[in-house]
Structure 1
Amino acid sequence: MTMKKISSFLLAGLMLVAASCQESEFTKRYADPAKISETTIEKQYTGIMYTNREYILPGYGNYFVTLRTTLNRYNQAVGWPFESGNYVPGSAGVQEVWYNYYNTLSQFRELEKVYASKSAEEQANKKIFMLTARVYLYDYTQRIVDLFGAIPFTEAGMVSANNGDYVQSSAKFDSPESIYTLMLDDLKSIATELNGTTLNAGYQKSFQTSDFVNKGSIDLWKRYTNSLRLRMLIRVSAAPDFKARATSEIGEILGNTTTFPIVENNDQNIQINVFDINTDINSKGFKDGIASGGDWFGNTASKKMIDHMNTNADPRLKIIFEPGQKANGVYAGIDPLATSALQTTMYQNGLVSIYNRYTLSNNQFFPGVIINAAQVNLIKAEYYLNNGNEALAKTAYETAIAQSVDFYNDILAVTNATGITDATIPDPATSAQVTAYIAKDAVNWTKATTPAAKLSLIATQKWLHFNIVQAYENWSEIRRLDMPTLQFQVDNANNQTTPPVRWNYPGNEVTYNPTNYAAVRENDKLTTRLFWDVK
């Protein structure tokens, strides 16, 4: 399906789509989109979130078609038997991500259109929908920019606004630098505006019902906005044209969290929680998405990750992984440098650890993770380290570790995993285990006598915390920092001999947007680094 056809399909009904949440009234309010003749601000707002829900919640397509053979391998969050061609992202997975993003963007454009058609009074009363929709869209846009670089953005998704004129709606590619600048500028404005926002009492319930990310909490939207700013700013912090801005604005946010509140604890995590697995908001696709029941290597552990957790007595080990069926309780991962025959044999002999089915794949209540406290504190740790404040860096780093353990404990606590007869549910990590782990890591921090060595520790904790759960963030941070150091076999039988640093544009975009694609063709290589990937 081409991007143009997607837009046509959206006009036929997808733009009116909406979601179910835990309240029965929510399901009643948002009917079958095929039967809806007109939309509203509320319905369109929910449609944005609903459209990309399976790229936040662990959906089958995202994990099985896309992440299983791409980022989870490039991040060494999983182990797999090497074969030639592994370092070229599959076209099916790439185009699915691309299509979903532009479906979501088209939903947003339709929200803009509907909002513009309303009276000044209704616009004023419902401005919170537009402000928070932009935050949500920018979050997703950062992900896509970090995958591809330049993308159609400012002119994209305009078929409806242009009354179905596909030629007029053919969109130029905006540079990644210009998109980051636009988003950072607007997010700063939104952060300020949210501080002065008081929701009209008559619309509190409709906003709460429509918003299945933060359930209508303006406080959480403030924290989301500023935490997203931190994530974007740290991403561009080494880019020459953004370095001064990143340092200044991160300092401004962290220096005044009353004005610019951020996610500081797990109760404030930005995520889609699952309340009722019988609605569309569930994580039923996780099990087949990481192929927990087959030989697809979507849930098999990598040697580097398991070795690190074993060596350091990581309290998350038994929550995130389970030993192979014939491993006698020993946790082991697949060595990326071993021969394919040895890698396969190790797996077939039941020696390879897999991601814990109680915590992850069979847990239909697994949340859709967006930004969480551990991630924010690891950003803080890097910022403080780069600015010479090692004491604050260490505090943020250790806080992040404890929050990461609690985060996975909390997920384990809500599991509804059933039908697992060959393993037992793991015990949650104890506070004593966390204390011992942090104390051991404090020794490693002291032994790391240079900022680079300490940054390596921070980067490794990001990698462990993200694993397969936040795969896109993991890949971006590994590329940006080149940490932790990952070793791969060289694929001498393919032009792409090592993992890529970006994705190619999908073929249909090349075919159906040829004039605009011509402007970016020279950079459409798997080896073209993004502007923030400075070495």
Structure 2
Amino acid sequence: MKKLKLIYGAILAALLGACTSGFEQTNTNPNLISEISPGALLNEIIYNQTSNNLRNHYFVNCELMQVQLPYPKYYGGVQRYEILESTGASQWNSSYKWLKNIREMILASEQANANNYKAIGLTLKAWIYSNLTDNFGSVPFSEASQSESGILQPKYDSQEAIYTQILADLEEANQLYDHNVTMVYGTDILFGNDSRLWQKFTNSLRLRLLLRISGVDSSVYQRMVDIINDPANAPIMENLEESAVLQITGVTPNLSPWSRALDFSNQHAVGKFFIDILNELEDPRRPVYVTPAKDLDNNPVGYEGIPSGYDEQSFDYSPSYMNNEQVVAPMIAPIMSFSEVAFIKAELAQKGYLASSAEELYQQGIDAALELWTGETAPDGYFEKPLAQYDGTLERIILHKYLGLYFTDYQQWSEYRRTGFPKLPTTESMLNEGVLPSRLMYPSDQQTYNPQHYKAALEVMGGDDINFKAWWDVD
């Protein structure tokens, strides 16, 4: 299993049949659809936003977090903390495009009294907006996606206000699910119309976002414990098979986000920081992620990376490049994996909020992260290695959470900003005085199309400042 086991047998059958019927018909301009059903746009939203997130994970998150870097490229780039107005434009534009469709989906669900679809819509809305506000700061929210009501220049809402509402939306979504009602508007490509799995994703996402703001509101720890201790009313992911992982089949239109797989690997070397950790662990994910390095005589020399923001213009080896088999369908695109849930619970236990064993939860997170990519849990002796042993610290939990969040949108960067871990090396070639950026810049078109609210947001930050910290970033 190159990726997550094909755990949803019935789902995959649907992907080749009933599922794609609705997907193909709606993978067009939604303005051409005369009447939108609650599920008409669901697969479009899931596929397109997940695909966009994966590409931005690779080209933004992975460069900032020293997972991969363009090589050879001696000057500039995200790996050297060069953040431009264009860096986050793809994330911004895709998010607001599909948020507009989510709004239509929620309205259609309300009109049809289709509560399961409304719950899903609220969950997807929270998922997309959390990434937007985490990465940009204040963004259009309460007035966004309402051009039909004449709001063409929506105000920018604060991060605190956005988090307050999306967490309330997720709580409402949890209460809306009705497992006695069949989802009849096509077959969704994420959970195959299993409302129980959707509900577990909703509540697992609540845990992610509550933990995200725990530095500014310690009361959320009790809210998290209440969720974990109430599986009857607020179920969460309990195993890898329940993960929110999009299976990209390669069957049109469910295609790899990389139209040319070579673009994933050509001139993209693995970061030294990332691969050195995996080397110390003798981690079985290495051959899945990267290719072997070679010396100047073309002999294999194991797995070797290039320092992010490297100062040298040449090296005495050819580094390990990213393995493009990862983006050849069938492939996976994680949205939220069970391993993340296990690491969240491990952190709660480490901090004394859960009576469960932090070490057992930590190891559970590692096992799930390994199995996601290799099909197997940790090999014999893995947890005996010094870097795999649980040492009672948050730093050790976050190090392995960092590894486990590979391929998951911007979550590695967000967790670094929340905790300060893992500790990343710097070089003199890095810009921004070697300080990891705290946010992306607003796309340039905001100055033209929404100047009043754009300027108001900049006044709070003292400019479009990449060092302005997120509301929840108190590290």
CA 1:466–1:222 in 2, change beyond 3 Å: closer, same or farther? same
Aligned partners of 1:288, 1:93: CA distance in 2, in Å?
A: 22
Deviation sequence 1:439-494 (CA, Å, 0-9, x none): 3358732xx3xx5xx21111110111223x114011101111111100122457x5
Q: Which residue of structure 2 lines up, in the alignment, with residue 189 of structure 1?
A: 172
Aligned 8 A contact 2:42 2:188 in 1: no
Displacement of 1:24: 4.9
Q: Which residue of structure 2 lines up, in the alignment, with residue 456 of structure 1?
A: 395
Question: Please, which of 243, 258, 263 is the counterpart of residue 237 of structure 2?
Answer: 263
CA 1:288–1:274 in 2, change beyond 3 Å: closer, same or farther? closer
Deviation sequence 1:264-293 (CA, Å, 0-9, x none): 211111122234x2311122517548532x
Question: Please, which of 46, 50, 53 is the counterpart of residue 47 of structure 2?
Answer: 53
Aligned partners of 1:399, 1:527: CA distance in 2, in Å?
A: 35
Amino acid at match of 2:379: V
CA 1:111–1:83 in 2, change beyond 3 Å: closer, same or farther? same
Q: Which residue of structure 1 lines up, in the alignment, with residue 199 of structure 2?
A: 222
TM-score w.r.t. the length of structure 2 is 0.87
Matches within 5 A, 1:53-72: 53-57=47-51, 63=55, 66-72=56-62
Given the alignment of the two structures, is residue 95 of structure 1 paired with residue 89 of structure 2, yes or no? yes
Displacement of 1:91: 3.3
Q: Which residue of structure 1 lines up, in the alignment, with residue 457 of structure 2?
A: 520
Aligned partners of 2:48, 2:248: CA distance in 1, in Å?
A: 12
Aligned partners of 2:310, 2:380: CA distance in 1, in Å?
A: 35
Q: Which residue of structure 2 lines up, in the alignment, with residue 315 of structure 1?
A: 284
Aligned 8 A contact 1:491 1:498 in 2: no
CA 1:387–1:46 in 2, change beyond 3 Å: closer, same or farther? farther
Q: Which residue of structure 2 lines up, in the alignment, with residue 281 of structure 1?
A: 254
Q: Which residue of structure 1 lines up, in the alignment, with residue 405 of structure 2?
A: 466
Question: Percent identity over the alignment?
Answer: 22
Question: Please, which of 159, 162, 170 is the counterpart of residue 147 of structure 2?
Answer: 159
Q: Which residue of structure 2 lines up, in the alignment, with residue 422 of structure 1?
A: none
**Structure 2: gaps of 5 or more residues:** 1-13
Runs of 4+ aligned structure 1 residues displaced above 6 Å come to none
SS at the partner of 1:332? coil
Number of aligned residue pairs: give it: 450
Moved more, 76-85 or 313-322: 76-85
Given the alignment of the two structures, is residue 374 of structure 1 paired with residue 368 of structure 2, yes or no? no
Q: Which residue of structure 1 lines up, in the alignment, with residue 307 of structure 2?
A: 335
Aligned partners of 1:336, 1:25: CA distance in 2, in Å?
A: 42
Aligned partners of 2:19, 2:264: CA distance in 1, in Å?
A: 35
Q: Flag the structure with higher helix content.
A: 1
Instruction: Name the larger-Rg structure.
Output: 1
Aligned 8 A contact 1:373 1:403 in 2: yes
SS at the partner of 2:389? helix
Question: Please, which of 208, 221, 224 is the counterpart of residue 247 of structure 1?
Answer: 221
Given the alignment of the two structures, is residue 107 of structure 1 paired with residue 101 of structure 2, yes or no? yes
Q: Which residue of structure 2 lines up, in the alignment, with residue 23 of structure 1?
A: 17
CA 1:114–1:55 in 2, change beyond 3 Å: closer, same or farther? closer
Deviation sequence 1:106-130 (CA, Å, 0-9, x none): 11222344455x4xxxx32x22211
SS at the partner of 2:304? coil
Aligned partners of 2:120, 2:19: CA distance in 1, in Å?
A: 22
Aligned partners of 2:48, 2:195: CA distance in 1, in Å?
A: 24
SS at the partner of 1:354? coil
Deviation sequence 1:342-380 (CA, Å, 0-9, x none): 3xx45xx42x1123333x13x211122111111110111
Deviation sequence 1:318-358 (CA, Å, 0-9, x none): 3333212535241111123642313xx45xx42x1123333
Given the alignment of the two structures, is residue 395 of structure 1 paired with residue 360 of structure 2, yes or no? yes
**Structure 1: gaps of 5 or more residues:** 1-19, 411-428
Q: Which residue of structure 2 lines up, in the alignment, with residue 41 of structure 1?
A: 37
Amino acid at match of 2:95: Y
CA 1:213–1:187 in 2, change beyond 3 Å: closer, same or farther? same
Aligned 8 A contact 1:235 1:532 in 2: yes
Question: Please, which of 341, 351, 357 is the counterpart of residue 386 of structure 1?
Answer: 351
Aligned 8 A contact 2:37 2:108 in 1: yes
Aligned partners of 1:332, 1:150: CA distance in 2, in Å?
A: 40
Q: Which residue of structure 2 lines up, in the alignment, with residue 5 of structure 1?
A: none
Displacement of 1:252: 0.5
